[in-house]
Amino acid sequence: MADSLPQETLFFNALRSDDWPEPEQAWTLDEVELSPAGLAELFESQLMSRHLDLHARRLQARGEAFYTIGSAGHEGNAAIAGALRPTDPAFLHYRDAAFLLQRSRQVPGQTPLWDLLLSFAASAEDPISGGRHKVLGSKALAVPPQTSTIASHLPKAMGAAYGLGLWRRLGGGGEWPADSVVVCSFGDASFNHSTAQGALNAAGWAAYQGSPMPLVMVCEDNGIGISTPTPEGWVEASMRARPGFHYLSCDGLDLLDTWRAAREAVRIARRHKQPVFLHMRCVRLFGHAGSDAQQAYLAPQRIKADEARDPLLVSAGLLRRHGVLDRDAIAELYRELGERVAHVAEQAIRRPKLETAAQVMASLVPPARPPRIRPWQGEVDATPAPMAKLLNQALARLMDRYPQLVMAGEDIGRKGGVYGVTQRLQAQFGPHRVIDTLLDEQSILGLGIGLGHNGLVPILEIQFLAYLHNAEDQLRGEAATLSFFSNGQYTNPMVVRIAGLGYQKGFGGHFHNDNAIAVLRDIPGLLVACPSNAADAVGLMQEAVRLADEEQRVVVMLEPIALYHNRDLLEEGDQRWCFADPGPEHRLPVGELGQWGAGRDLAIVTYGNGVYLSRQAAARLEAEGIALRIVDLRWLTAIDHDAVYRSVADCGQVLVVDECRRSGSLSEELITALVERGMAGHRLHRLTAEDSFIPLGRAATVTLPSADAIALRARALVVEAGSVDQKTLTGSPQA
């Protein structure tokens, strides 16, 4: 066996003593309906988890392991795993190695020690993440991987539980059995995070109204968050009378009490389809993580008291007391498992590692799957209409063609959305497919992630772009990372509709006009579309749903609010910004550009409102003898820069009109890409919004590009380049 660490010495010293910690309640095996063999099995899972913690520290000291946050003190969660089925989806706390080890016993052919040690060593053969992170996860065990973003997995657990009931309404299907229970575990410090509170509130809110919510939320309460203590009694006081929840508690140091409470929690959740909060009191040993020295903030007597409450010692006492194993057999089992872990580790650390950027990025894009679309049997209304109307028609078609499609968001049902885009859809498809949610963007996105986990394709609506920012980690830390951290084994496809950007008339201010899109474009794997007109909105939305269904992508549809109901281009009543519905098969693939005009004096590259404004400017410029073209990006990520270059290469000047902020903007990427492809810098120019929030009232557009500003800049550029003589310009007071 490898050299002993101080923690092992403490364990063996305590084992030799007769002063073993006693559980709070003296349950018998018969009372909790657990066999002697079952108790011994749970203890073995606890021991394996402990040895993995200890050996991770040895490997880290040798430079062979890279992440040592451990499960020591929390090993009682093995009993929770034993109370569940291996098909029950489990969104786990990062201290739940014993849970994973115990669950692996329920599925033949598992090699959990080997798998976890490969993960510790960041091996490319790690079966869950492929060496990208030390995560607890397994496709075979229905455990999606979870990293350490605080509480971010709680909203998706709520969504997954809701999805089980939704599939029953839809007639069956999904990734998990219809009578599954979703379990989600987290710590007492995470309990206080706004994300956790939002998820708990959403689960209780739904259950309070009778929605099925077969969910067990396990709070593993060790009394401290890194160095900050949790007030005694706080978690219980917060949850005991919480509406919509059943509250149960257990001594997480006592396998029998935890087994009893976990079985009751699962029984309630499975039978009554109601959420349960299982409060498991435990202890944290060895500090928060490998580099954490708890001596800096905990008194020696507190550390000593915690070590005396080691759950392995409590379990050893139970084994002796119930005649399952004696002291010598326990010590021998401890040594044997330690040697096994050390032996497997020496093999695991020699396995291949990720070596190239291509290998690391291979799982950013999920794998494809067969389409699940039905033929369209209806007739297309070809009457030219603005964007909101055509989006509504497209969404109705998509809901009819994709039976696994559901929509969710604030006010999208009975009201039909703030801007009327989803009018009458709830009446047509029912409240279970067009879901009016509570006012919480984190819960809306988490609901969608959970539904996507379970084989559904959600279309979520965020009312305003400014409202996304308090929930963006659900996209950054959860939705877009799932395929990456699971090596493509888990996905949560979705389409997120966000009403955004500026130029609203009569309704302004930063919170309803937001042009901060950098956060979306900075998320690897996320796709962002932005239509400039109604026909493109249909093509982009239909492609977004195809991408989600067939390619399992996460797609954001950024919809310009100011263009929802806009009908006119140059003058009131001209109806030149109304378009015919291009039909159910019209799709605009990622990277496909739109173009208006073929002039060579100037190319304007833009998107969204910028296309509309540039068309207004173009009407003036062409009358003055300037020949130009307008290139519409349509997609704001995964841009085909070669195609952009080809579309502007023969133009004398190129002007990027970017309605978003100058710093960290799309225009920076576009200019850089054109320079990299050999275009001379003196031909490239930007017209952007200022680095400012958007104000209210008459000043609402003064920080943004305008048709006047585009026309003025365009004239100056073509005159400076000599493409058009200033004297030839007509009708131009600026000439």
- Catalytic residue positions, numbered: 512
Sheet strands (E) in 346-425: 405-409
**Complete DSSP assignment for 271-335:** HH---EEEEEE----S-SSTT--GGGTS-HHHHHHHHHT-HHHHHHHHHHHTTS--HHHHHHHHH
Tell me the two tokens of residue 321. Answer: 């007391």
Tell me the two tokens of residue 16. Answer: 């030799």
CA atoms of 450 and 435, how far apart (whole Å) = 14
Residues with Cβ within 8 Å of residue 655, at least 6 apart in sequence: 602, 603, 604, 605, 685, 686, 687, 710, 713, 714, 717
User: Which amino acid belongs to residue 725?
Assistant: D
CB 455 within 8 A of CB 404: yes
Angle at 506 between CA 505 and CA 507, to 5 degrees: 95
In sequence order, the β-bridge partners of residue 164 are none
Coil, strand or helix at 152: coil
Are β-strands 224-225 and 228-229 bridged in parallel, bridged antiparallel, or unpaired?
antiparallel
Strands across the sheet containing 457-462: 434-436, 405-409, 457-462, 494-500, 554-560, 527-529
Are β-strands 527-529 and 228-229 bridged in parallel, bridged antiparallel, or unpaired?
unpaired
CA 530 from centroid of its chain's CA atoms:
21
> Which burial class, exposed, middle or buried, applies to 678 when counting CB atoms under 10 A from its CB (0-12, 13-18, 19+)?
exposed
Cβ count within 10 A of residue 241: 9
Sheet strands (E) in 20-129: 90-91
CA atoms of 285 and 593, how far apart (whole Å) = 57
CA atoms of 126 and 321, how far apart (whole Å) = 39
Give φ, ψ of 225 to 5 degrees. Answer: -115, 105
- The candidate with the shortest Cα–Cα distance to 461, out of 493, 430, 432, 437, is 437
CB 499 within 8 A of CB 448: no
Angle at 547 between CA 546 and CA 551, to 5 degrees: 115
**Complete DSSP assignment for 419-450:** TSTTTTHHHHH-TTTEEEPPS-HHHHHHHHHH
Sheet strands (E) in 664-724: 684-689
CA atoms of 1 and 6, how far apart (whole Å) = 15
